[in-house]
Amino acid sequence: MNSTQSITLEQQICFRMYLAVRKIVFAYNTRLAKEDLTYTQYLVMLVLWEQQKMDMKELGKRLMLDSRTLTPLLNRLVEKGLLTKERGEKDKRRLIVSLTEAGALLRAKITPIPKEIYDQVSLDPDEASALTRILDKIIIAMK
């Protein structure tokens, strides 16, 4: 961007990214509401569907969420019967988060949602790959 150009909202890449994220999260939340999940809760479940059990600190690092955000989020998932939390056997300061059977079974109901949204966005594979590369570049640059 030329420094002499006037700065307008429409020229801001960050604004377009913000709008795209809001629309995608809204699409997820609309679909996830049928299973009484929010998008952020879904992200927690995605990680635990991969690993079944995880230290809360590691989960926070993976999702880039601090404990002030993650703790109430996990508590809601425990209340819904999707997760359990227990203290570490050797180190009682560690908190281990695990999937329940209900949490594991929820995966089958949620699995179609990402494809539905991908289809709605209608990027071809090359566009999706290019977008992923660009987003990864931004994420790395902004660390």
Which pLDDT does position 35 carry in this prediction?
Answer: 96
| Residue-wise DSSP of 51-97 | HSEEEHHHHHHHHT--HHHHHHHHHHHHHTTSEEEEE-SS-TT-EEE
pLDDT in tens, 64-100: 999 999 999 999 999 999 999 998 777 778 899 999 9
- Taking residues 19-40, what's their average pLDDT? 97
Token pair in block for residue 37: 């999940």
- Taking residues 16-42, what's their average pLDDT? 97
Q: How far apart are the first and last CA of the chain?
A: 22
Supply the Cα-derived Rg of the chain in whole angstroms.
Answer: 18
* Cβ-contact 59, 97 below 8 angstroms: yes
Q: pLDDT-based confidence at 10, cuts 50/70/90?
A: confident
**Mean of per-residue pLDDT scores for the chain:** 93
**Which comes out higher in pLDDT, residue 109 or 92?**
109
Q: Which CATH entry fits the domain spanning 11-141: 1.10.287.110, 1.10.10.10, 1.20.120.1200, 3.30.70.20?
A: 1.10.10.10
Domain ranges of the chain: 11-141
Entry field: residues in the chain: 143
Q: pLDDT-based confidence at 143, cuts 50/70/90?
A: confident
